[in-house]
Amino acid sequence: MKTTGSRLAWAALLVFACALLALGAQLPGYSQWLHPVALPGARGLPGALLFNAMVFVLPGLLMGACALLVRGALPQQQGLAARLGMSLLLLAGLAFAAQGLLPLDAADLDGPASGLHAAAWTAWWIAFAAGAGLLALALPAWRLPMLLGLALVLACAPLAGLLLPGPPAQRLACLAWFATVAWAASRPLSRGAA
């Protein structure tokens, strides 16, 4: 199960990165360095449905499936904290997918539709941060990847634009999430969990 979960997470990263680059290039003037990840998926733009499906929905569902598989494979003695941490990673996957179902509004980036998209983004990184923190405490074998991923996501997602320009910070936060879960899911679980 751990191998399957890891493969799902690496596949999610691959789909996200390839779709972001390929489908983002279809929007004239779109720059990975200057524009938010979600801009090519904004309502009313050509190809927005495909972009949202491939950049947010499919990767988010793959990450949720990874969390569900790994949670099911946790030995009973791993305890409540590990199960809750994996449940929060499942929630993070679903919140990431929700960003594609709640696209930005290109005509009103400060409007209610864009606000729902931003709420899904916020739910994504908060669920991941809480889950990664719990997993770092509960699973010693996962401590290093979870703490590194947690630090990167917290440095980039809520503070996008402070340490790095916002668009690169968004991308780095997403990549850290995918890679952290994939790396952790490939590691054996310690029987001596805290």
Q: Dump the DSSP string for 110-171.
A: TSHHHHHHHHHHHHHHHHHHHHHHHHHHH-GGGHHHHHHHHHHHHHHSTTTTTSS-HHHHHH
Number of domains composing the chain? 1
User: Which residues, at least 6 apart from 49, have a Cβ–Cβ distance to it below 8 Å?
Assistant: none
Residue 193 inside a domain? The answer is no
Would you state the pLDDT for residue 166? 85
Residue 190 inside a domain? The answer is no
Would you state the pLDDT for residue 160? 64
pLDDT tens across 122-140, in order? Answer: 999 999 999 999 999 999 9
Confidence (pTM):
0.92
Residue 192 inside a domain? The answer is no
Residue 24 inside a domain? The answer is yes
Give the domain extent around 105.
Answer: 2-185
Mean pLDDT value across residues 35-55: 94
pLDDT at 56 > cutoff 50: yes
